Structure 1
């Protein structure tokens, strides 16, 4: 699997349609407004193909304009990072797609996945790539690679009872490595606290850690001891600081402070700048109308000096259970 900073052919996204996540007309309209903003931000840097449910093309076109390709397929939800394929390459110009087993983030009682479980294969077919399927339950937001053999995972996702009951750590690693071409897994004990709520993923790594380049990993930091992620983030950072990658390097850890807001309506938030998206020459970065938005943008400009950083309000997306990285999926250029 190429790292996310490698050149892209395009980005794949999915358009929100009525479902338990967007259960009222107002919530759906707000979601479409937020998704549309991300589509337009990414389309400044590279082509975007948007999967829409039958009958939803007009609403999508009105929001994203004429420069985005639309394709109709049945959908349950709109989290393309998780329902779409993970693209891989053999390094000589051949592209393929991994079709993980998708079961609604651990067969959660509110989730529907009859159609979403087929989206990875639909997208791979549209991209003209062969598909490698696996019985391992996994999502794209639950993995992050450095492009040199290292993958980040979390205990509560790949080893969770709702996804892969009975599988050992060694069995999960073997399946992950076989499909991604990785050699070394760095396991984090958990994700952010709020990610274990009703619409959470039970610990996706793309809220807590991401490689900036080989040997350098960004990690979510919660400076306020009042938030349960304060101690969680210290533990995660410590795990990463003592870890080595597939090349034997000790990882350099760069902490990215969380926004200042701690809770909304008496519930902890998992707002995270780590849930960003790298596209060709750009970084689409979550914003939260928060004093730390510009601080995070400055850190990302230092880490990615050749890319344009674009801040996009992600609060509506987070209210539905994810962020900008969760709704995008890169197709590498080969």
Structure 2
């Protein structure tokens, strides 16, 4: 009997649904909670035009309020399926399950350990998200362990092409002093985990993420696959900006990188929006934190001249999907935008 293998599909492969979690408090967006609720409604409305939405809400009271808001916004509520589950936060990319396809034709929800990005102590409620989603979808859920230890990993830390290649960063996964995920893990340890659980045979390691990213180096703010052989990578032309050198170094690595079959990676450069600050924080505004659905790509916009350029680049790279800008100046006050807030549920084979 052959061993069952797993594969993490690319995000442009068919989805059963997109997972979102409606915020039940404004803690991640101080002073902007009322605006954020309507920003979420608009996000749900757009996704529901193209595929089903799995929407986590705290309780029946919140479900009724959200339903009313969706109806006010003329969203297709028939496309929204609610899951009642209390959470600490709404960042489903990182606390939600990673759904993989198996060689026996079944799907499986992987539960990596979520530790609040090794920064925030209030994350225990978010541990329940993968099992709640898996129960709703009737998937088996598997806790990811390596050498007897639960493995800490967030979805925003990894990017795959569905063919065996993954991109991640040293800052996020290998730093042994700041926001440490898995003490003493090496590149070889991660390679073994990625191969067993995600079907990855080739890992491209970048260096640092962008300034303002409190996850400490998530790749989904700096580089994304748009097809099996092409990535879009952020660049910052302003040499006085700390991101200039960080992104230039990552670009060098990408241009010399190889795919799983040994071929060169095609790298398309994406400008960064102008620096965005609120109160005393620099915010991690990035166009590559886009969300792919079955029929569209939703890209965060920031009232910036580069918005139009970025939309044009993605439109060329996703010719079979509509590319739609979603205003994200308020969302990014929570230190993340569209990709961070969502997680695709891959469709059955």
Q: TM-score range by the shorter chain?
A: over 0.9
**Does the alignment pair 1:179 with 2:192?**
no
Match of 2:36, SS state, is helix
Structure 2 unaligned segments of length 5 or more: list them: 1-7, 72-76, 145-149
Q: Distance in 2 between matches of 1:64 and 1:246?
A: 43
2:223 counterpart (209, 229, 241): 209
Matched, 1:131 2:133: no
8 Å Cα contact 2:9-2:162 kept in structure 1: yes
Q: Does 1:21 align with 2:28?
A: yes
CA 1:132–1:160 in structure 2 vs 1: closer, same or farther (change >3 Å)? farther
SS of residue matched to 2:88: coil
Give the structure-1-normalised TM-score. Answer: 0.93
Quick check: 1:164 aligned with 2:182? Answer: yes
- Distance in 2 of aligned mates of 1:215 and 1:221: 19
Q: 1:15: Cα distance to partner?
A: 0.8
Match of 1:308 among 322, 327, 337: 322
Go from structure 1 to structure 2 and tell me whether the alpha carbon gap of 1:224 and 1:267 turns closer, same or farther (over 3 Å shift): farther
Please state if 1:289 is matched with 2:289: no
**Residue matched to 2:47:** 42
Q: Distance in 2 between matches of 1:48 and 1:223?
A: 38
Report deviation, 1:127: 1.2
Within a 5 Å distance, the mapping from 1:22-101 to structure 2 comes to: 22-23=29-30, 26-54=31-59, 55-65=61-71, 66-67=77-78, 68-91=80-103, 93-101=105-113
Farther off after superposition, 53-62 or 146-155: 53-62
Structure 1: gaps (5+ residues)? none
DSSP-derived class of the 1:231 partner? helix
- Could you tell me how far 1:286 is from its partner in structure 2? 0.6
Is the aligned partner of 1:319 residue 2:333?
yes
Candidates 190, 207, 216, aligned match of 1:189: 207
Q: Does 1:329 align with 2:340?
A: no
Question: CA distance change for structure 1 residues 112 and 173 in 2, over 3 Å: closer, same or farther?
Answer: same
Partners of 2:124 and 2:279 lie apart in 1 by: 32
Q: Is this contact kept in 1: 2:207–2:246, CA < 8 A?
A: no
Please name the residue that 2:164 is paired with: 149
Take 1:159 and 1:58, find their aligned partners in 2: how far apart are those partners?
43
Map 1:268-283; keep pairs closer than 5 Å.
Answer: 268-283=282-297
Cα distance in 1 between the residues matched to 2:175 and 2:42: 33
Deviation at 1:281, TM superposition (A): 1.6
TM-score (norm 2): 0.89
Would the aligned equivalents of 1:220 and 1:257 in 2 still touch at CA under 8 Å? yes
User: In the alignment, which residue of structure 2 is the partner of 1:121?
Assistant: 131
Contact 1:41 1:310 in 2 (8 A): no
Q: Deviations over 1:249-277 (max 9, x none)?
A: 11111011011345444643321110001
Over the aligned positions, Cα root-mean-square deviation in angstroms equals 1.6
